[in-house]
């Protein structure tokens, strides 16, 4: 089969991945599932993997097929699989978990001690076929196109996971801020709007992104290039601040906003990454706010997100690309030239 594979880390996206002919995956475990990939979302994390940013956190055997946002049709199942059958369409949770470690027993499958992560620690879905297991596949309703929903396997579930945590702390009339209305941010904004009665402010440098945010339910928008973010949030919230901030950028310039825009007792959720947190400990003590990390989400949360998609509460903006355009997509994303999410469609 044809697969887009990373052979060495590089900053040059124009030739980051090569198209190789490799063996189609085969099932070795009784709960294994082989999926014919119909759509595989390209994520900013893919760029970071190519650059080698994950080498300090996980083992990555190269060459490796990237692609961790996958959906398609089941073509083979192991003898113990009951959840799906050949011909079913599915979206694949990005964590292939064991089900028996303590984290899995507690329902915290994102912390599985024996997890594999296609496209990050093992071969992913920028290929014709993907090997996963029964614990990672979620059957799709017939009304949902697996190509269009594929990016929800990571971008969507990550945004939903952050929004769900934030919504628990939001009461009607409270304020929430979304920083960055891009591929993840436009999903998170819709989740906030659907699941809470909070007043939402969206912050983005791009006019098109702010217009999109307003169309998706944001009550206010801020251009950080021409407006003082802290002053604007103070005016919008009557100097209280935002109870919950969802930071889909995660650069120094956005994490540093927290002491000035988060309300006392509130949270600044870090979803995008690449920057640092350099705030005095006194700022956290005096404001009693918290930085909270976001690592994808649980299997059950992807089920919940699929339900929101089926109901029409969350819409994903996607552009489709052929597998042989893979490095073009990497370049476009590196330069911020993709609106919404890019989806790779293998032959």
Pair 30, 7: CB distance under 8 Å: no
Phi and psi torsions of 79, nearest 5°: -65, -20
Q: Sheet harboring 64-65: ordered strands across?
A: 17-21, 2-6, 64-65
* Lookup: tokens for 276: 């640092």
Which one of 10, 48, 219, 332 is the catalytic residue? Answer: 48
Query: Does the active-site annotation cover 48?
Result: yes
CB 160 within 8 A of CB 188: yes
Inter-residue contact 155 to 183 (CB < 8 Å)? yes
Phi, psi for 97 (deg, rounded to 5): -105, 165
Task: Give residues with Cβ within 8 angstroms of 318, minimum separation 6.
Answer: 41, 147, 148, 151, 340, 341, 342, 343
Q: What values do phi and psi take at 95, rounded to 5?
A: -110, 120
- Does 68 qualify as catalytic in the annotation? no
Q: Which of 7, 15, 45, 219 is catalytic?
A: 45
Q: Which residues are designated catalytic?
A: 45, 48
């Amino acid at each position: 089969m044809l697969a887009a594979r990373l052979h060495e880390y590089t900053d040059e996206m124009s030739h980051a991945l090569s198209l190789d002919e490799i063996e189609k995956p085969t099932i070795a475990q009784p709960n294994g599932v082989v999926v014919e990939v119909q759509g595989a979302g390209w994520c900013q994390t893919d760029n970071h993997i190519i650059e080698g940013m994950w080498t300090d956190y996980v083992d990555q055997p190269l060459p490796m097929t990237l692609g961790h946002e996958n959906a398609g049709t089941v073509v083979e199942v192991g003898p113990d699989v009951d959840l799906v059958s050949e011909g079913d369409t599915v979206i694949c949770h990005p964590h292939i978990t064991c089900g028996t470690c303590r984290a899995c027993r507690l329902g915290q499958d994102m912390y599985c001690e024996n997890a594999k992560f296609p496209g990050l620690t093992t071969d992913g879905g920028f290929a014709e076929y993907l090997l996963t297991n029964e614990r990672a596949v979620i059957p799709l309703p017939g009304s949902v196109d697996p190509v269009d929903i594929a990016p929800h396997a990571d971008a969507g579930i990550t945004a939903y996971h952050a929004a769900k945590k934030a919504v628990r702390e939001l009461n009607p009339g409270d304020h929430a801020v979304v920083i960055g209305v891009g591929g993840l941010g436009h999903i998170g904004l819709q989740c906030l709007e659907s699941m809470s009665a909070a007043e939402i402010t969206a912050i983005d440098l791009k006019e098109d992104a702010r217009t999109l945010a307003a169309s998706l339910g944001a009550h206010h928008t801020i251009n950080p290039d021409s407006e003082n973010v802290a002053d604007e949030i103070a005016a919008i919230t009557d100097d209280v601040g935002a109870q919950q901030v969802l930071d889909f950028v995660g650069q120094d310039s956005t994490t540093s906003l927290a002491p000035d825009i988060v309300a006392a007792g509130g949270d600044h959720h870090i979803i995008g990454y690449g920057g640092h947190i350099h705030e005095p400990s006194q700022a956290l003590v005096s404001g009693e706010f918290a930085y909270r990390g976001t690592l994808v989400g649980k299997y059950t949360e992807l089920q919940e997100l699929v339900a929101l998609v089926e109901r029409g509460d969350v819409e994903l903006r996607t552009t489709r690309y052929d597998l042989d355009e893979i490095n073009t997509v990497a370049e476009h994303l590196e330069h911020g030239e993709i609106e919404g999410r890019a989806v790779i469609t293998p032959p």
